[in-house]
A and B are shown apart, each in its own frame.
Chain A
Amino acid sequence: MKKTTKCILGTMFMAALLAGCGGSSSDAGSGAAETQESAQVTSVAAEDGVVRIANIADYQTLDVHKTSADFTIPINVFDRLFEIVPTDGGSTEIVNSLVDDYTISEDGLTYDFTLKSGVTFSDGTPFTANDVKYTIERALTLPETVQTDIYASIAGAQELMDGTADDLSGVVVTDDTHFSITLSVPYAGFIGQLATPGAAMFSESITEAAGDSFGQDPAVTIGTGPYMVTSWERNASLTLEVNPNYWGEEPDVKKVIISIVPDPSTMSMMFQNGELDMLDGDELDSAVFDATYRTPQYEDKIVSAFRLATTYMALNENVEPLNDVNVRKAIQMAIDRQTILDTVYSGGGFLVDGIYARGLLGYTEDNQGWLQYDPEGAKALLAEAGYPDGFTMEISSDNSASSSVLLVLQIIQQNLAEVGITLDIVPYDEASWLDLRQSGEMPSFVATWTADYNDPDNFIYTFFGSEENVVNRSLNYKDTDVINRVAAARAIIDDEERMAEYAALEEKIVKEDAAWVPLFSRSHFYVLGDRVESFTPHWAGYSAYIYSTFKLAD
């Protein structure tokens, strides 16, 4: 017996020794460098002036010309000519940023800009009008660019993109702080476009010297904004620090540490443990968010923000019987949107009856009441359309979306069942879902469009602005007259006239043609930790934070 014990102890000792060796050797190996670095990060985490935030996935690039989604870091590192800021009334206004002043010619074609003087990039390189021209030309000609839209209306843009010109004729630089932009056709949304994250301004010398490393290597990704990226450990963390050469007011937050945390429940626990200073409600399912944070403990730490966004249901007019306007109207009437908003999102938001979100320029309350929940009326319309016993249709759901979205689809399924329509929910993984929608063959879906810039054009043009767009969004809307009017509305110089046209088009599409089923606009919730007193959410409600608006608790 004794001997056995000894032997076991011996074996255990050996194993422990082995474990020790293995542990230390793996540690001393490749991981050693990171060990020290990250350990430091953790120890300074609660230092003054530091804000710790988590993001669910790593950033694709910091170069806004190559991404249409990852804007959080670039909006803090770069500046734009203009900036959109929220107003107290729930709307927004465009304010000058790098631009000091500008005038527009009578015909609405030529814009003369004066830049702020004395603006430099974070490495001290001066920012000049030449950099503006360079940035615009880069956005139009870079092989990987996804931002041609912003500048496509500038005279000579098409020639530059086709390669028939190697200079953008519409942008003329007079001196370091003066330049003018001439458009090929008047475009009222142009200044708004210049305020979008994709319109960030780069330096010609810095960006050219960086080549392909621009946007990938933080050391050469240099902007004029309030922050600069000081470290980026892929898939693990990214650190921003205040730009000492920033031209504007020095922000309260001196350093931002962003951890990449792919698991939402881990993120939530980190926040509760005080390891994060802010939590984005969009990362959690709304049921989980309500159960965990709509509690006495966190209630007064919740910030609710307005979202300039419309959640809508799209119906493909190439699919029988959705080509029948009465069928589409019946679907509009059959969905009990208030119940969906109340049960799935605890009432956080409001109903939208048109295309434009509340707070958007051109939004009026005239459309209130266009959609009424009326199952009996829906049944009557279906009977009139020749479907007294209803029919079967498909809705495609994106697996990667939160389970709240699936819940929305399930309630719609129930609502439609009550009027006799059988709705089959067909799940797809995100990639297939996007691909199917883009092919124009998705029978129906629910999605949300959030404003890029504050103009009705941004909403209506995306969906109804060209024959390609109506296919790409799987709407297959047929009225080419309306499509042409949507495109032409961009060029109406008189703003009042333009807004009236947008209102008329909205009425035609939603009320008369029922080609769009507006649902609601959800509020965006954030929870602040004890160290953060307040912050200004993004004007459109994106999960993009402007760190210079954070105020820390004393």
Chain B
Amino acid sequence: MKRVLLWTPFALAALLLGLMLARLDAPHDETIASQWVDKPMPAFNLPPATDGIPGLAAADLATGEPHLVNIFASWCVPCRVEAPMLETLRARGVRVVGIAIRDTPKDVASFLSEYGNPYARIGSDVDSNVQIAIGSSGVPESFLVDGKGIVREQIQGVILESDVDRIVAKMKAMR
């Protein structure tokens, strides 16, 4: 009995150390998934982010057609990498709309002229209100929204070439 008691703290410490080592070895995942998937887009009405492209409202996403809502910003470096993929998606029939985070009309315009414009609409979210309302925590992120305006999937980070086929198929299946 005494011996067991004596060794208990060591056993507990060893267990704790083992747990810590196991966590050190585990891949580190910092992404925070949105809990807003399968819920309707919250009501919002964002002004145009730049001249010549209309703004974005929740009503524009409940038209019977599915949309890919891309959360981006001109100051976001990975968004530049993602731009050609969005253009590919648009060319393959996906309706791409954008929400520009903390951005200015001038910066959005130069971003689009440099990296292309796949967006039918871009809303300007200067204080991240809509971004927070749908549980998005960074740029770029994309939300697949069905024809009734219900969020069906959140894609965090850059859309890669290997994601394109799956997204096109999912958007076609969604109405």
**A and B bind:** no
A residues within 8 Å of B by Cβ? none
B residues within 8 Å of A by Cβ? none
